[in-house]
A and B are shown apart, each in its own frame.
Chain A
Amino acid sequence: MSELHITGLGKSFDEHVALRGIDLAVQAGTLLALLGPSGSGKTTLLRVLCGFERADTGSIEISGRRVAADGLHLPPEQRRIGYVPQEGALFPHLSVADNIVFGLPPARRHARHRVAELLELVGLPATYADRAPQQLSGGQQQRVALARALAPEPGVVMLDEPFSSLDAALRVETRNAVVTALAASGATAILVTHDQEEALSLGDEVAVLWQGRLLQTASPETLYRRPVSREIAGFVGDAMLFPGTAADRRVRCALGTLPLAADQHPAEGAVDVMVRPEQIVLSAADGVDASVCEVTFLGRDLMVVCELGDAEATRVRARVPGYRTPRVGDRVRIAVAGDVCVYPR
């Protein structure tokens, strides 16, 4: 059963169309990562779902209850959703515990209902209950904001780029804590982010929003390996495109003859071949001749740019393990590991 169901959602501000024809369903208990570059409309979508903005067209159902449709617009307080904004936005005049119980009925507020349990859920010690929000680090504030959103047991939790303001080390730690807490509470969640890695690693499903349209909704693996368009391919990861000719579930291009992905729509004729740099293997037993022309050392791995010996002097980026560094000018033979996907030209 889907916990959140959106059909034909549209929203424009004055002349600018922010969202058009959004259809989306999120299964109960899963986390959907809503991925898009800035200005793609993802924050608008979230604000329409929360009820801060009114949808122009389309309908929204949360937990089987219609909250927005033609002529219907439930105010945010009646939608039973949880919301974790970008910067946590804890109420600065209330203690951590009072922040957590803010959305509960008065009797439960006074009883500090489930405060200890929720703090434990988000991985904070129970002694934090009486602290002021100002005494917490950014990551801790985000965890409290999640506890506050989960306390009233909402149908769906919306997280609006909750980790973007944290520094790298804190981000990973907070991410893990948040995802663990969400999973433990069995909540259905939408995570808005512009960070591909975050979307791919955290989402059960990832929806890509591009200029107000949902272009693809798929599992992280599918999205990364079989992006439906060149744009998405380049957006969710580093992608190289080579011209080629497809026939009989194989494709010929500068890197040789490569197998087409089995689950891809069979293409014939002139295509663009999408290859990820980590698919490139240097020093293969048999492969295409190339020479190394740029090496960037990244620690764990290396980015190596090679030039093929063909007429166009095609350049290929390879992402290879960093334990050995090839030298500029080295001759290598390169091959492609795994299958590839193609886009008709």
Chain B
Amino acid sequence: MHAPAAAEPLGADAAVMVGGDAPAVPVAGRRRAPRALIAAATVGPLLVLLPVALTFWRALSFGIGDAVELLWRPLVGELLVNTLTITVAGTLACAVVGTALAWFVERTDVPGRRLWGLLAAAPLAMPAFVTSYAWVSLSQDLQDFAGALLVITTAYFPLVYLPVAAALRGLDPSLEECARVLGCNRWTTFTRVVLPQLRPALFGSMLLVALGVMSEFGAFALLRFRTFTTEIYAEYRTSFDGGGASLLASVLILLCLVGVAVEFRVRGKARYARVDRGVRRAPRRVALGRWRWPLAAAFAVLNVVTLGVPLAMIGYWLTQPGAAAVTVADVSAPLLLSTTFTSLWFGLLAACFTTLLALPLASLLVRYPGRFATVAERIAFVSQGMPGLVVALAIVSLAVRALQPLYQGTTLLIVAYAILFLPLALVSVRAALLQSQQRLEDAARSLGLGRFETLRRVVLPLASPGLGAAASMVFISVVTELNATLLLAPIGTQTLATQVWADTTTLAFAAAAPYAALLTGLSLVGSGLLFVFAGRSALARAASG
């Protein structure tokens, strides 16, 4: 999941606003970055390029004729239609639900709005394949497109809700008042003033949802909804390192890269900076009158669907003996312990490694901005569009050819995680490094601190909450990751995610429940850490003005 990244880049960039009369900040004279830093910063982007290049290279090893024959099949057409329809429908559904919820929570007097706002972020802690496990175990009829749309919407709408709600909070209420005075009613004010300003947040988050849906594998596989990812996995299972999987993967990568390119465009366009400065009053909430309670009821129903049913199903299966499920399988305490430990261990390793990988690139971006840094950053962000399955496939294919001793080892799995979650870490680490501005370091130096002392007493204390946030985001993502783990985990090693997967695919619902519960719990702990770090980092930002 690329979950928290959706909220972060918008928030982080929004902090840099353009003031009307503010003189341009003088840019420190262009200095050359140290070679070592450039070299270190290049590692991440190169790692990201590796699977893309490998996949295309493998696909190109087919003759044109063979490739056309393989791709020009009704099956591929069906996959394309399925993948595109679920992506479009899921993205639109998330946009509508997320935006509507954000508006009602931020701009009306709907009862319990703080609670709804908090609960709206909660589905992020539950990966889509766990949600679909819950629904499938409720009723096996819930499959195919309808089920997929339901699960996708409940799992991904927070990606729209969070940035749109933040954008709504950042909107100057006097803009809406001006529109009213100039003759707009409530609805035209929304369409002519509010919506255009939400557009960057909304488009950006919709693209993240679209990328997430295109890369989604576990949920679709459990719901027996065939998309490129499920077919690539099936192809991999039948022919292992055959070329068919990489040919399909190339098509998927192309689709995703289009998404990434569009996202770059949207993000590149100047965010609407607030034109004014100074204090603002809180927006006046719309009184809903007799619609207050019906709307609150509607939100309650929404939460029953997004959180209630999945949690209740996990809870239900926890209390059932293994025999109650379709397939009988019992939970063994040692396995539970070892999977939890493995998930934790992988999560921690990947969190440290990815944050370290992001650090040189982030310092290059912050300290030596320029063409090179920007290109490196963009390449790193390409991995947002890379499904875990595709990355894992490419690494498998590299390992069997060139890195035989590393194959089926932990190292390659951690590298795969780092490739997948580098953008997440990069956003936070960069924001963290921005906390410590040059003038603070100058002040420290003028007070007699040496270079190292400045680092230890000024830069690190300011940056550490942000680094912690980066690590916790990677941790959450790794713990809930399924695709790459399935393909790359050492033989015989199970994580919580792969165990949920294994038990669910064999319809052993009761056996899967404890793993699903622990997985969600771990992910919630990670989110809690993230909130603490994010809060501390906001504090540091406020203090450093």
Binding site for B on A (CB under 8 A): 50-52, 75-77, 79, 81-83, 85-93, 102-103, 133-134, 136-138, 141, 145, 148-149, 152, 165, 167, 170
B173 to chain A, nearest CB (A): 9
B181 interface contact, C-beta 8 A: yes
B13 to chain A, nearest CB (A): 15
Given contacts A92-B274, A92-B275, A141-B275, contact A103 B21 (CB under 8 A): no
Asked whether, in the complex, the Cβ of A92 is within 8 Å of the Cβ of B20, the reply is no
Task: Report chain B residues within 8 Å CB of A93.
Answer: 196-197, 199, 272
User: Which of B18, B181, B184, B274 is close to A79, meaning CB atoms less than 8 Å apart?
Assistant: B181
Question: Interface on chain B toward A: helix, strand, loop, or mixed SS?
Answer: loop
Asked whether, in the complex, the Cβ of A83 is within 8 Å of the Cβ of B184, the reply is no
Q: Could you write out 24 A-B pairs with CB less than 8 Å apart?
A: A50-B177, A50-B181, A52-B284, A76-B177, A81-B181, A83-B177, A83-B181, A86-B174, A87-B172, A87-B276, A87-B277, A92-B197, A93-B197, A93-B199, A103-B181, A134-B20, A134-B275, A137-B21, A138-B277, A141-B276, A152-B183, A165-B276, A165-B278, A167-B21
Task: Report chain A residues within 8 Å CB of B182.
Answer: 77, 83, 102-103, 148-149, 152
Asked whether, in the complex, the Cβ of A89 is within 8 Å of the Cβ of B174, the reply is yes
User: Which of A51, A83, A136 is close to B20, meaning CB atoms less than 8 Å apart?
Assistant: A136
Task: Report chain B residues within 8 Å CB of A141.
Answer: 20, 275-276
Q: How far is A253 from B178 in the complex, measured between Cα atoms in Å? A: 53
Asked whether, in the complex, the Cβ of A77 is within 8 Å of the Cβ of B183, the reply is yes
Contact with A along B162-199 (1 / 0, CB 8 A): 00000000001011011111111100000011001101
Task: Report chain B residues within 8 Å CB of A86.
Answer: 174, 276, 278
Other than A89-B172, A91-B193, A149-B182, give 20 A-B pairs with Cβ distance below 8 A.
A50-B177, A51-B181, A77-B182, A77-B184, A77-B185, A83-B178, A83-B182, A86-B278, A87-B276, A87-B277, A90-B275, A92-B273, A103-B181, A137-B20, A138-B20, A138-B21, A141-B275, A145-B178, A152-B183, A165-B277
Task: Report chain B residues within 8 Å CB of A133.
Answer: 275
Task: Report chain A residues within 8 Å CB of B180.
Answer: 51-52, 75-77
Closest to A139 in B: B21
Q: How far is A82 from B174 in the complex, measured between Cα atoms in Å? A: 13
Closest A-B pairs by Cβ, 5 of them? A103-B182, A87-B276, A76-B180, A83-B181, A92-B272
What is the number of contacts between chain A and chain B, taking CB atoms within 8 Å? Answer: 95
Q: How far is A131 from B227 in the complex, measured between Cα atoms in Å? A: 47
Asked whether, in the complex, the Cβ of A89 is within 8 Å of the Cβ of B278, the reply is no
Task: Report chain B residues within 8 Å CB of A148.
Answer: 178, 182
Closest to B196 in A: A93
Task: Report chain B residues within 8 Å CB of A85.
Answer: 174, 177-178
Task: Report chain A residues within 8 Å CB of B177.
Answer: 50, 52, 76, 83, 85, 89
Question: Interface on chain A toward B: helix, strand, loop, or mixed SS?
Answer: loop
Task: Report chain A residues within 8 Å CB of B273.
Answer: 92, 134
Chain A CB count within 10 A is highest, among B179, B183, B277, for: B183
Q: How far is A138 from B172 in the complex, measured between Cα atoms in Å? A: 16
A223 to chain B, nearest CB (A): 28
Asked whether, in the complex, the Cβ of A89 is within 8 Å of the Cβ of B181, the reply is no
Task: Report chain A residues within 8 Å CB of B199.
Answer: 93
Task: Report chain A residues within 8 Å CB of B197.
Answer: 92-93
Chain A CB count within 10 A is highest, among B181, B273, B275, B284, for: B181
Closest to B199 in A: A93
A81 to chain B, nearest CB (A): 6
Asked whether, in the complex, the Cβ of A91 is within 8 Å of the Cβ of B284, the reply is no
Closest to A164 in B: B278
Closest to B189 in A: A77
Binding site for A on B (CB under 8 A): 18, 20-21, 172, 174-175, 177-185, 192-193, 196-197, 199, 270, 272-278, 284
Asked whether, in the complex, the Cβ of A89 is within 8 Å of the Cβ of B178, the reply is yes
Task: Report chain A residues within 8 Å CB of B192.
Answer: 102
Closest to B185 in A: A77
Asked whether, in the complex, the Cβ of A87 is within 8 Å of the Cβ of B278, the reply is yes
User: Which of B183, B272, B275 is close to A89, meaning CB atoms less than 8 Å apart?
Assistant: B275
Q: How far is A212 from B274 in the complex, measured between Cα atoms in Å? A: 32
Asked whether, in the complex, the Cβ of B276 is within 8 Å of the Cβ of A89, the reply is yes
Q: How far is A110 from B183 in the complex, measured between Cα atoms in Å? A: 17
Closest to A103 in B: B182
A291 to chain B, nearest CB (A): 46
A187 to chain B, nearest CB (A): 14
Closest to A136 in B: B20
Task: Report chain B residues within 8 Å CB of A152.
Answer: 182-183
Given contacts A89-B275, A91-B175, contact A103 B193 (CB under 8 A): no
Q: How far is A77 from B192 in the complex, measured between Cα atoms in Å? A: 14
A221 to chain B, nearest CB (A): 33
Closest to A76 in B: B180
Q: How far is A165 from B278 in the complex, measured between Cα atoms in Å? A: 8
Q: How far is A51 from B182 in the complex, measured between Cα atoms in Å? A: 12
Task: Report chain B residues within 8 Å CB of A92.
Answer: 197, 272-275
Q: How far is A77 from B180 in the complex, measured between Cα atoms in Å? A: 5
A208 to chain B, nearest CB (A): 24
Task: Report chain B residues within 8 Å CB of A88.
Answer: 275-276
Given contacts A76-B180, A77-B185, A93-B272, contact A134 B278 (CB under 8 A): no
Closest to A166 in B: B21
Q: How far is A15 from B18 in the complex, measured between Cα atoms in Å? A: 40
Task: Report chain A residues within 8 Å CB of B20.
Answer: 134, 136-138, 141
Task: Report chain A residues within 8 Å CB of B181.
Answer: 50-51, 76-77, 79, 81-83, 103, 149
Task: Report chain B residues within 8 Å CB of A138.
Answer: 20-21, 277
Chain A CB count within 10 A is highest, among B199, B275, B278, for: B275
Task: Report chain B residues within 8 Å CB of A137.
Answer: 20-21
Asked whether, in the complex, the Cβ of A103 is within 8 Å of the Cβ of B276, the reply is no
Task: Report chain B residues within 8 Å CB of A167.
Answer: 21
Closest to A77 in B: B183
Q: How far is A235 from B313 in the complex, measured between Cα atoms in Å? A: 69
Closest to A47 in B: B177
Chain B CB count within 10 A is highest, among A92, A103, A141, A170, for: A92
Q: How far is A227 from B179 in the complex, measured between Cα atoms in Å? A: 39
Task: Report chain A residues within 8 Å CB of B178.
Answer: 83, 85, 89, 91, 145, 148
Q: How far is A51 from B183 in the complex, measured between Cα atoms in Å? A: 12
B192 to chain A, nearest CB (A): 8
